[in-house]
Chain A
Amino acid sequence: MRNLWIFISKYNAFFFFIIFFTCSLILFVKNNSFQRASFINSSNHVIGQAYETMSYVKRYLRLADVNDSLALENARLRNQLKSSFYNDSIEEKTIKDTLLNQQYSFVVAEVVNNSIHHKDNTITINRGKRHGIEKSMGVICPSGVVGIVLNVSDNYATVQSLLHSDTRISASIKENHAFGSLMWGDENYDPRIAILKDIPNHIEVRRGQHVVTTGFSTRFPTGLPIGRVTRTGVKGGESFLNIEVQLSTDFSTLQYVYVIKNVLATEKEQLEAIQPAK
């Protein structure tokens, strides 16, 4: 104790200094608002820095959870996107007419899958059974014929495009009503050209004449445009003309198509299916 007292009295100046300096600092911090504020602020700053560093480290540990939640949120947002909604509204135009009985009605559909470079090309559209689409209905677009419905699911349908080696469409030449069948894929894989066959030799076919649908099948109404004649000629010794038709439909940019419903199709088919009694 005595040694301590000697020590303190030997260095009394220092201890006095500590006492008085502390007193004045206390006065100073307590009575000057700016210094008080900045003192507290600086301590807050230090604490805030520490917290920030900690949270920076913690962020890495939480990355997996954050990623999961972000992915979930992305999925949820994607579900809200307009493009992921199935457009359920059926635009079906039926004309109520008392003078003329409605035979054909059209269902608009969007092309969701398309190909033109294969031997057998098909198109998928976003209309199906729920919208009244049935097998072997005709499909057209504003500029011309597209194809025939091949298979139908609840919400989708595949269309056997005109650019399919099995497709046969009954077509006629508008100017002289000569009819034949339009086909594609026989030594010709140009998506802009189809061949009109089965038109007899004696019919005069010229370039530029219009090729339209006939009403013979139940699929298409009469007179829908198909294309124009670009070349005609007889192929080695046959009795039928071989007519090249430039298709008016641009299959590579197909977006919206119409599916044709023929109200009277069943009646016609039933009638035609009756075998003559023998």
Chain B
Amino acid sequence: MIRILISNLIRFAVLVFIQVFLLKNIGYYNLATPFLYILFILLLPFETPNFLLFILSFFLGLTVDAFYDTLGINAAACSVLALVRIIFINLTVQRQGLETEPEPKLGIMGFRWFFFYATILTVFHHLTIFFLETFSFSDIKYTLIRIVLSSVFTVFLILLSEFIFFRKKER
């Protein structure tokens, strides 16, 4: 239990650090901006209570917002992300067979499940972020292109990091 807590704390710190100091400066002409930090919410244990999940998501979002000077956008997106995560897990995972491994990781859940999991959650998160950022439907084509490209970028980074830690874990 304590191991989970500590590993999540470290993950939180590392992901926020990477997000605000590295990925904030990476982008493809403002079209594809990765938001890797959502990996923290993705990797929270299955047994996390909903309330705690929302609190953590909100807090994570606020932290990132503080660095991005966009108070509320990431918090809102993370709230959406938490809801989508709960619904997705409720629909696809049987709670009974998960006593051994409590975390939704690539190595445990298999690539296909994890890929859909990451993709759907990322798309919802990015939809919220970009529509709140533009705050209008006037240039919807541009916004949609941004959402798609950024989602591709983020999912790519999530899978990449998962593969890295997956190998480490196997050792």
Contacts and interface: CB of A to CB of B under 8 A. Distances in A.
Contacts of A42: 136
B61 A34 contact: no
A29 B76 CA distance: 11
Nearest to B132: A28
Given A16-B50, A17-B54, A28 B76 contact: yes
Interface string B51-71: 101100110011000000011
Nearest to B133: A35
Contacts of B78: 24
Contacts, number: 71
A28 B83 CA distance: 19
A39 B72 CA distance: 15
Given A17-B79, A17-B80, A24-B58, A31 B87 contact: no
B108 to A, nearest CB: 23
Interface residues of B, number: 24
B72 A16 contact: no
Nearest to A28: B72
Most buried by A among B70, B83, B87, B136: B83
Describe A's contact surface by its main secondary structure: helix
B136 to A, nearest CB: 7
B71 A28 contact: yes
B82 interface: yes
Interface string A215-242: 0000000000000000000000000000
A13 interface: yes
Contact of A32 (B70, B83, B87): B70
Contact of B79 (A21, A31, A32, A34): A21
B15 interface: no
B26 interface: no
Interface string B75-103: 11011101100110000000000000000
Interface in A27-47: 27-32, 34-35, 38-39, 42
Contact of A20 (B54, B86, B87, B135): B54
Contacts of B136: 38, 42
Nearest to A35: B135
B75 A12 contact: no
A217 B86 CA distance: 121
B133 to A, nearest CB: 8
B72 A20 contact: no
Contacts of A71: none
B73 interface: yes
A17 B71 contact: no
Contact of B83 (A14, A23, A24): A14
A55 to B, nearest CB: 25
B37 to A, nearest CB: 15
B58 A23 contact: yes
Contact of A21 (B50, B76, B86, B87): B76
A25 interface: yes
A220 B94 CA distance: 126
A21 B73 CA distance: 10
B50 A13 contact: yes
A17 B82 contact: yes
Contacts of A32: 70-73
Contacts of A16: 50-51, 53-54, 82-83
A27 B76 CA distance: 9
Contacts of B54: 13, 16-17, 19-20
A12 B79 contact: no
A28 to B, nearest CB: 3
A30 B70 CA distance: 11
Contact of B82 (A20, A29, A39): A20
Contact of B75 (A17, A23, A35, A39): A23
13 contacts: A12-B50, A12-B51, A13-B50, A17-B79, A17-B82, A20-B82, A24-B62, A24-B76, A27-B62, A27-B72, A28-B70, A28-B76, A34-B135
Interface of B: 50-51, 53-54, 57-58, 61-62, 70-73, 75-76, 78-80, 82-83, 86-87, 132, 135-136
Kindly list the 4 A-B residue pairs having the minimum CB-CB distance in the complex, ordered from nearest. A28-B72, A24-B75, A24-B76, A27-B72
